[in-house]
Structure 1
Amino acid sequence: MASAHTEVQVRLGVEDDLAPLTILYNHYVRETPITFDTVAFTAEERRPWLLSHPEDGPYRLMVATDARSQEILGYATSSPYRPKPAYVTSVETSVYVAPDAGGRGIGSLLYDALFEALADEDVHRAYAGIAQPNEASERLHARFGFRHVGTYREVGRKFGRYWDVAWYEKELR
């Protein structure tokens, strides 16, 4: 059997990805506590997010597509950790995989590409917040050398209950 990885391409995100990326993200907004957004977005509302991830620099958007159909299977980003200037060498990373594309190694392919893209950037640390429970995300981050540094208890409220967020960090340089 051929590797699932040969059927997936990873590339930089582009303007034409806006609508399908919004649909993918909105699944997580509506159906899961993985993101603490609570209202689905229109593509136009997500445009500033897309534009905040240029093709170079420390804030990247990597997209995984099916090699045949070009359907978007997932994406990974590095974004500003916090808005204050002293945080400029830190990024927050996230990965979202299409609900029907899990278990194919797409998250790993996306993180491989993202961290390769960041290798020449002035980025010292990567951080990831993982709403609990999420064993798949914890395993992915551990595979990439992230270590647990703490948990914020009941920090977000969604779907009528409170959720913890575990924080992970990875040294990049």
Structure 2
Amino acid sequence: MPNIAIRPAIAADAARICAIYNPYVEASTITFEEAPVSAAEMAGRIDAVHADGLPWLVLCRDGEVIGYAYATRWRARPAYRYAVESTVYLAEGAAGTGHGERLYRHLLDALGALGLHTVIGGIAQPNVRSVALHERLGFTKVAHFAEVGFKLGRWVDVAYWQLVLPAGPTH
């Protein structure tokens, strides 16, 4: 049985995170980035998320990073301070194993512990697996924007799912 661990990401994880992420960049519409991300750029992104007081987590199987999840601020205006957008990616072959749900639950727990109120997941369409994951976790579809991205020679829709966390500010 493999040893599974979830821990905060560090800059040294950046190259492995790029190895997971860049195939999505190059060959899918799951992300709207169009150029591969360097390890240095990814390390900067990890540091920026942590500097903003938000979690960036990695899921390791037998010591190897096979997935990651993090949150960023939803919008810059102060009244949005309790809302974040979530992101989760798994290495090829790790989908459908329960690892994504386990990782996402850890992220949601960490966000709740920080007193955040709303988590928003944007999903390029179609993406049956990601939609199913979000809905299993209690997210509700709240918006659908048609043809807002153009990648790989076609227009892509993006839909949003929202989860109101059980903890958070009441004022």
The CA deviation string for residues 47-99 of structure 1, in whole angstroms up to 9 with x for no partner, is 22111222893x21110111x2x111111111111122221110000110101
Residue equivalent to 2:143: 150
| Matched AA of 2:128 | E
Q: TM-score, normalised by structure 2?
A: 0.91
Gaps of at least 5 residues in structure 2 are none
Query: Following the alignment from structure 2 to structure 1, what is the Cα–Cα distance between the partners of residues 155 and 3?
Result: 38
The CA deviation string for residues 24-61 of structure 1, in whole angstroms up to 9 with x for no partner, is 1111100110000001111112222111222893x211
Equivalent residues of 1:62, 1:76 under 8 A apart: yes
Query: Following the alignment from structure 1 to structure 2, what is the Cα–Cα distance between the partners of residues 26 and 78?
Result: 19
Q: 1:7 Cα deviation (Å)?
A: 3.4
1:54 matched to 2:50: yes
1:7 counterpart (3, 8, 11): 3
Q: TM-score, normalised by structure 1?
A: 0.90
Tell me whether 102-111 or 113-122 shows the greater mean CA deviation: 113-122
How do 1:13-52 residues align onto structure 2 when only pairs under 5 Å count? Answer: 13-52=9-48
Query: Following the alignment from structure 1 to structure 2, what is the Cα–Cα distance between the partners of residues 170 and 103?
Result: 22
Residue equivalent to 2:66: 73
Tell me whether 150-159 or 38-47 shows the greater mean CA deviation: 38-47
The CA deviation string for residues 100-120 of structure 1, in whole angstroms up to 9 with x for no partner, is 211111111111111111222
Give the % identical residues: 37
1:99 matched to 2:87: no
